[in-house]
Each structure stands twice: as C-alpha cells, then as structure tokens.
Amino acid sequence: MSAAYASLTGAGVSTRRAAMLTGLVRSTAIRRAGLCPAARTRRCTDPANKLTMLERRRILDTLNSDRFVDLAPLQIYAQLLDEGTYLCSVSTMYRVLREHAQVKERRRLARHPATVCPELVATAPRQVYSWDITKLAGPIKGQYFDAYVMIDIYSRYIVGVHVHTHESGVLATELMKEIFGVHGIPQVVHADRGTSMTSKSVAALLADLEVTRSHSRPRVSNDNPFSEALFKTLKYGPEFPDRFRSLTHARQFMDSFAQWYNHEHRHTGLGLHTPADIHYGLAADKAADRTAVLADARARHPQRFGTTTPPKCQRHANPDHLTESQFGPSARLGLMVHSSVVPAAGTRPRSRFL
C-alpha cells in the first residue's frame, strides 16, 4: 500500500485523496513516505530581563548582610527605596533566596498539637449519653425556646427532654438529675463545647457522680452523627411547625415526638427496630418473629425469593460487624420536650403528635 500511495502522490494526486484510495490514514501514509517536514530547531535564548550572575550575587549579599539578615524582603525593599536604591522586585528577592534554600518560616508561631478524635464505645444501653440544646422558633420573630435533649447512643433512645425559655447550666443539671434517677447513671456524658455544656454546675454534678465528661473537638460540628440524625428526623418531619405558639405548645409537641420516636419510629440504623426495643432488650424476640413471618412467606411463594438462604431479620441494634455503637465526640443535639423524663419501658405510646 505504501508503494501505491507513493505512486499516486508522484502522479500528482493529493495526499488526502491518495490516502483515501489506498485505505491508509493520511498521517501514517505521510510518515511512511518520509514526507514529514523536518523538525525546526529552536534556539533557547535568555529573556531580556534576566539577571546576570553578578546582579544575583549582589542581591544575595545585600539580603544576607548584617543590616538586613533579620528582615523580610518586603521590609528590605521599602528601606532601600527610601534610600534611593532599587535592587530588584520583592518577588525576585524571594526567588534568589529560594534558589539558595534560604526561604522558610522564621516567625515565632504557635504550634498547636494535633487534635485526636476521641472515640466513645457503648456495648450496652445506659453506658454513654449524649446531650445538646437546640432552638425552637417562638410565636414571633426573634423569640426562641431552648430544648435540652439527651439520648443513649447505643439504643438512640431519648432518655429525657426539657424545653425552657433560656439556656442555662443550672437547667441542664436539673435534666440530668431526673434522667439519672430514672435510667441510671452512665459512664460517659458527651456534649459539644457550648456554655451550658462546659458550665461549672454541669461539671460539678458529673464530677460528684464520677461520670466522665466528653466534649467535641474545637470547631468540629459533625462528630456526633446520632444526634445530627435525630435532629433531621425531628425538624424535617411533616408535623414540625414553623413556629410554636407558646412554651406549653413546644413542650407538648416534643413530648409527643419523643414518645413516637422511642416507641414507633423504626430506625434504619437499628435494623428497623425502635429505640425502645434496643434499650429494653426486646429486639431479639421481635427479630425472631419477623424471621418467622418471612419464612412463612418464602414457604408459600419460594419463587419470589431469589436467594437459597432463608431470609432472616437483623436481631441486633447494629449490624453484626458492628456489635458496638461507635461514637465520635463532637456534635450538636437538638430536640425539645416537656420538663419530665421520658417514661420508661412498658409505657403505651401516645398519638404521634399533638
């Protein structure tokens, strides 16, 4: 084909036409025929504004002189201009210094130690509690109610909620005393670094009860995914009002929400069990009942189940590979409820919302 291409081009046929007739790619045909233009040789020339070696040496000697050795190039540049001398631009000074490995941070800067993300692990209910305060819009613009909420990170169970007109560490201790009296004293209580969470009243109460305090890392707002998920479930619900008519309305709403969340809401992170099922150890029996229902359905319609393994329902709060609820400290918890502790096991849940 190369010979045919050469004969066609020799007869005056264009390279494009010859390549098409011979079935070759035009660039390939040209290369094989040796028709490629010779590569142009380029001369490497120095830019007109390039500094000479003598000028570079003068700049470096000036920057390293006893007078300027401790000054930044910007300071040296300004002082020389005031004296009627122009050596070079500030960027050129830095470039010359960089070529001689003389550019580094020499100011005295604070050295902050690396912040390690602590991890709280709960292997059973009532070991680690997390709490936070969130705002609820009041009846008029600029008015808010403060909702204090505490959950068990293992079961996601809302162990207690208060709603007040203001935020206070003293009010937070009242919530904790009620919760600890009903649900028991946990090993760890986690919160963010708000003023109420770090208040002396809260610290004193937890110290007296020998409860370990855990706080979020500074300026980290997403270390507590459980509380964040709870807030979204609360505030993205269709029943959540734009504004609450009064403090009583806010307390009634949050009381109903806590009852619904604990006893009716099937949590995707808990194997579709309710937080109450996990908190009070009912999940295994309910999982067995669900598995029996699925097995019966499979026996009646085996063609509708694609796997050969009989279907099973998850029996634990967390997946089998996570037998512990891992909790990275730091986050905000938002919820609001009545100033009474959420009722314990066996309480019949009320209607979803008031």
Which domain does 74 fall in, by range?
Answer: 53-99
Q: Which residue has the higher pLDDT, 113 or 69?
A: 69
Q: Which residue has the higher pLDDT, 203 or 318?
A: 203
Per the structure, how many domains does the chain have?
Answer: 3
Do 89 and 157 share a structural domain?
no
Do 91 and 182 share a structural domain?
no
Asked if residue 70 belongs to a domain, the reply is yes
Asked if residue 316 belongs to a domain, the reply is yes
**Predicted TM-score (pTM) above 0.75:** no
29 has pLDDT over 90? no
314 band by pLDDT with thresholds 50, 70 and 90:
low
Kindly state the average pLDDT of the residues 321-327.
35
Q: What is the pLDDT of residue 302?
A: 86
Q: CATH number of the domain that 251 lies in?
A: 3.30.420.10
Asked if residue 214 belongs to a domain, the reply is yes
Kindly state the average pLDDT of the residues 256-281.
93
User: Which of 127-141, 191-205, 316-330 bottoms out in mean pLDDT, i.e. has the lowest?
Assistant: 316-330
Do 273 and 141 share a structural domain?
yes
Q: What is the pLDDT of residue 79?
A: 93
Kindly state the average pLDDT of the residues 194-221.
91
Kindly state the average pLDDT of the residues 65-94.
92
Write the secondary structure of the chain as one string of H (helix), E (strand) and C (coil): CHHHHHHHHHCCCCHHHHHHHHCCCHHHHHHHCCCCCCCCCCCCCCCCCCCCHHHHHHHHHHHCCCCCCCCCHHHHHHHHHHCCCCCCCHHHHHHHHHHCCCCCCCCCCCCCCCCCCCCEEECCCCCEEEEEEEEEECCCCCCEEEEEEEEECCCCEEEEEEEECCCCHHHHHHHHHHHHHHHCCCCEEEECCCCCCCCHHHHHHHHHCCCEEEECCCCCCCCCHHHHHHHHHHHCCCCCCCCCCCHHHHHHHHHHHHHHHHHCCCEHHHCCECHHHHHCCCHHHHHHHHHHHHHHHHHHCHHHCCCCCCCCCCCCCCCCCCCCEEECCCCCCCCCCCCCECCCCCCCCCCCCC
Q: What is the pLDDT of residue 38?
A: 61
Do 227 and 149 share a structural domain?
yes
Asked if residue 332 belongs to a domain, the reply is no
Q: What is the pLDDT of residue 3?
A: 79
Do 312 and 237 share a structural domain?
yes
Do 208 and 95 share a structural domain?
no
